[in-house]
Structure 1
Amino acid sequence: MTMRILLIDDQPENVETLYNELTTELACDCKIIGFAEAKTTILDYNPHIVVLDVMEGSGAEAETTGFLTSKFIWEEKFCPLVFYTAAADQVGEEYHKNHPFICIISKGDKSEQQVLARIKDFAPQISELEKVSQEIRWTMNGALRAIAPGLFNSIDATKRQDLLVRSARRRVAAMMDDSISTGNPDLMPWELYLCPPVVDHCLTGDIIRKRNGQKDDPESYAIILTPSCDLAETATRSAKVDQVLVSRCFGPERLREELNLAGVKKWGDKHTEKILSVLRQGYSQSCLPLAELPGEFPPLVADFRELLLIELDDIGQAHEDYYRVASVDNPLRELVAWAYMSSAARVALPDRDFDGWAKEIIPPASA
């Protein structure tokens, strides 16, 4: 794959050396443009990486036009961004300088090699992201092929356009989800978390943390059990509940206690198999293990015997008492609902004459 790299600088001669090294050493497809053409070129050229100056002009009349361009890249065409500028000290937190796909390099003697090194670091991710883009396009093509005949044969032309878009989106999402979630032994447990959450309202399976709780303390967390249909909020409807049912979370020791493994001094294969058995099933009698999400929360165990009601208005992303850390994707969301139902909503089983009943089922010759 040939990387497309866009160099944006109001003085093209300042990046000619970099341009030459990129095209010769990395065999990249490069363009040099000024700030005026930035927006249209970014959309038309679709660069894999943008190398961006900050200052336009010089002296007292210089302006930080590059920051406006970086905002456009962040919001409209996200891709790795290298701030390559003599004003590196002006790139602050508001320009996402700590994001892994953004770096800052000061112009200076042999600084071109620093840019090349950083682009080499980006290259593996660029290649994989290009594959994802191709997969999305191919999936969209397949979705349109599949749904168009039915829509054009049975739907009124005035409604066809909106239905086509909605149906295509839904089918693409389902096809993409199925392609990565069915029978993939390499799927990491935390890949089923959606962090940050995708939608603004709470959902079943959302993992929340006390605003004043410690990030590494499992007991700062809880998992939402209220059905998503009662929590959904849109422009035309409000949530159907004022309070949310949650299960408190604890550390892995809670699962070991439930499996009578808390006092084990010498861990053996039979003990490991007990843990694996729960993980394969997804839950135990009253506990749901949740894998660690690196950098966000530690390994958790939701205990369905430890339930709380929390005001819905106390959960949010701003200054509420509880912070929504992550949502969960299916089938993990289905597992959360099923595990809680299995634990808390078992059907009653009255005492009966099972011996006599069994004789009705066992063949006479075998009785």
Structure 2
Amino acid sequence: MVNRFPVTPRTTITDVALLAGVSKATVSKYLSATDYYVSEKTREKIESAIKELNYYPNALAQGLSSRRSYAIGVVVASITNPFYPELVAGVEEVIDPAGYTLLLGTSAENSDKEADVVRTMIQRRVDGAIVASATMRDGSVQKLVNAGINVIVASRELARPLVDTVVIDNRLGGRMAAEHLRGHGFGRAVFLSGPLDVLAFRQRFEGFRSVYREADSAVHLARTSELAEATEAAFGLLRDLPRPSAVFAANDTLALGLMTAAHTLGLRIPEDIALIGFDDIWVGRIPGVSLTTVDSRARQVGAVAAGMLAERIGRHPGESRNARKPPERHVLAPQLIVRGSCGCS
């Protein structure tokens, strides 16, 4: 049987050295150390040989020699939530120019999947990890740290200060949303949320409750903040009487779920229900949706987290600094984005 797809021998660093007329060690050092000096003539020979041979350095081999993988892990709860792609885009803005590859993992609010993600990050020897999953357990973050991986927690917080953290001021954001609804004259409002054991949701609720006292508010919970669960929870909320005239949703996906349920039931937003979300995902910016929301600055959170992580790695490449330097907490201010769903024209 004739093999129509013959195996072509892979070009090696030795081939590059022979063509360039230099030693293998010179090529290796040139590729793995940005501060290694070579003359302009030698550099041109190496680059010319690399181009002619279409040579791609073995990243794994380079990582073994330098104790670095040049990979950054990012852990999110779900890729279906538009908030997370925004955050990842912010991470990429920083790590791409620095020469890092992004390794994305999703915890999917599942403990087994979470364990797999942590195991993969450790096995791949990532130089650092950004944990943005709101549902990932603190113990999983501790495992990454114990494995010598630099970790930054983004858009969430741990029960105790274990690693650097980049967050939005969730309490302030919740208060801003509630004050805006109160300013429209709504004496009562409902907080629509995912599970309150998620710290970000609980903090947003605390900000909301600082404006709407217990007698002036109600809480309605979805099992998760996925769109299907949010829509189901919203149906339950809107079918109950008296029906709320103002709702603050703990994130934009929950707000979209309420919009979906309201449309199905023949209710209008904002005429029948004033609505404010949280996050400012791209869907809410569409004119037909026009969702008033609190901007959680996902892209900026990702960029700041990536910058902090790169700085940690750069100071001590190949070893975790989380256990040696006191954790830092960087808090970004939210912004209320006023559109039409709250009743503003």
TM-score, normalised via structure 2 length: 0.29
Radius of gyration: which is bigger? 1
Q: Which has the higher contact order (CA 8 A, sep 6+)?
A: 2
TM-score, normalised via structure 1 length: 0.28
